[in-house]
Structure 1
Amino acid sequence: MRFRFHFRLIPFIAACLLATLGIALGNWQQGRAAAKLAIQERLAARAHQPPVSLRSAIAGATAPLADSLAYRRVRLTGRFVADWPLFLANRPMAGRAGYYLVMPFKVADSAVSVLVLRGWLPRAAEYGKLPAFDTPAGEVTIEGTVVASAGQVMDLGRPAPLAPGAIVQNIDTAVASAAIGMPLQNFYVQQTSPDRTDGPELRLLRTWPSPASGIDKHRGYAFQWYALAAMAVLFFVITGFRRGSRQAEAGKREANHATGDAGR
């Protein structure tokens, strides 16, 4: 049996478009996995470094601070701006709804101020009711990890102007700086050390999610997109051969029939 391929333009274009889309999306997922792998390696390398003074780290930085200090463990001495708490909503932890408590922190004997992610608080049953927390008074020393972002969630509609005690979906350092009236660094510090106000039952949880999580998920998605691209090509090729073979068989039967009629 001879195999013949029947080419059809429209299925060919559809297969090419689907294959191109699958490869592009697969490459995109592979890129995300590679980026998170680089973050994981950077986190692992900097996790073993001792915390450094934030003032010294800023003074010694040679690149944009959010990039050069990302995932560095730092130590800060200064005061919380206690009258400007902000709450990042839709931040679940261990299956529970809650907020990240964000507060400006002014570093002592310097012009450096930074937003500190102090920890996670559970959301009350009544939405909008703010959870209770304590803020240490006076000068304190805390430790944390520098992050370029506080995390992004879907923000429907136009956010309301920032105000003390505001519940927001996302926060931008430039917007916060203008609202609070003090210059803020273009990064955040995830606090890891306890406050002196933390009691036996710690209200503020500081188990921060890893920004490098989900590498295997992205690789799995990439495989699915590549498989879709391969299936599109295979489907076009197989159906083309099957249609060509059917046409060849039909032509052969017609030829045999015509020969038989001519013989009679």
Structure 2
Amino acid sequence: MLQTALRPRNLALLALAVVAAVVFVLLGRWQWGVAGDDARAEALRQGQQRPVVALTDYLQPHAPFPNNGSLQRVRATGTYDTAHQVLVADRRLDGRAGLWVVTPLVVDGTGARLAVLRGFVTSPEQATAPLVRRTTVVGALAPSESPAEGTGYPSGQIGSVDIGALINVWGGEAYNAFVFGISEQPSATPASITKVPPPKPEVGHRDWRNVGYAFQWWAFAAFALYFWWRSVQEDRRDELGRGRAHDGPAPDPITQKDLHV
């Protein structure tokens, strides 16, 4: 069987089967990712629909971000730490390039800092300090962003809302999340800073459909390899058949007996 499998024709078929299998596996992984995106979108929709809760009841400083916490609306009262305000570079809003204004809020009751995305500006000069320092913020929770790839940002600017990196600058206790600021009471954000709306999940297909598509592609990958193996088996049977035909038919027992008479 091995000799048959190593024949040039079967090796060529194997190469085609492997290429097809790899393509099908990648398509399956893509569909699996789409299913995950749909599941995350559904979690975002659920977060938007849940009622506002007190931050101190929902999340503790340094605790892991909740699995279903994205876009959960929370309320927190505290004092803005204007000395540690940062600008997040390379952001866009309504087609305009600019920066996010992120100011830590020292939350009453815990003393931990919560990163509040107060809004969007097109130039650093617009990122003025809060009108009042003490306020109650209602915002939509979001997990920490990944560390920025680029470096060399101007002083006071960063590449992402990376809570781990911000904690190193802030010191002390902090929440492993940031919020898209929705409202403040009393208002602390001037008109020069435009509110950034929380992200809206896109409506997609049910995630189980994409999971089914993923398994379908993986089944195709397995079938491509199985088809090659069946082809090798057929070649081997043909070879054995030709070998028996070459040896000729076995002598007729009756004829042999007659020859000895």
Question: Do these two structures clear the TM 0.5 threshold for a shared fold by scoring above it?
Answer: yes
Structure-to-structure mapping, 1:33-72, within 5 angstroms: 33-58=34-59, 64-67=64-67, 69-72=69-72
Q: Which has the higher contact order (CA 8 A, sep 6+)?
A: 1
TM-score after normalising by structure 2: 0.65
Structure-2 change in CA distance of 1:153 and 1:208 (3 Å): farther
2:252 maps to: none
How many percent identity over aligned positions?
21
* Structure-1 residue corresponding to 2:159: 169
Residue 88 of structure 2 corresponds to which residue in structure 1? 88
Shift of 1:146: 1.1
Secondary structure at 1:208 match in 2: coil
2: CA distance between counterparts of 1:21 and 1:154? Answer: 32
- Two-structure CA RMSD over aligned residues (Å): 3.8
Query: TM-score scaled by structure 1?
Result: 0.65
- State the one-letter code of the partner of 2:114: V
- The answer to whether the Cα contact below 8 Å between 1:114 and 1:185 also exists between their aligned partners in 2 is yes
Which has a greater percent of strand?
A: 2
* 1:113–1:132 distance in 2 versus 1, CA, 3 Å: closer
Alignment partners' CA distance in 2, 1:12 and 1:48: 54
Shift in CA distance, 9/154, structure 1 to aligned 2, threshold 3 Å? farther
Structure 1 contact 80–136 (Cα < 8 Å) conserved: no
Unaligned stretches of 5+ residues in structure 1: 1-5, 241-264
* CA-CA distance at 1:198 after TM superposition: 4.2
Alpha-carbon distance in 2 for matches of 1:10, 1:120: 60
Q: Distance in 1 between matches of 2:56 and 2:14?
A: 59
Q: CA deviation at 1:119?
A: 1.9
- How many residues are aligned here? 212
Cα deviation for residue 53 of structure 1 reads 0.6
Which letter maps to 1:196?
S
Structure 2 residues without counterparts, runs of 5 or longer: 1-6, 232-261
User: Does residue 25 of the first structure (1) align with residue 16 of the second (2)?
Assistant: no
2:181 is the counterpart of 1:180: no
Q: 1:92 is paired with a residue of what secondary structure?
A: strand
What is the CA-CA distance between 1:86 and the residue it aligns to? 1.3
Equivalences for 1:80-159 in 2 at 5 Å? 80-122=80-122, 124=123, 129-150=124-145, 152=146, 155-156=149-150, 159=151
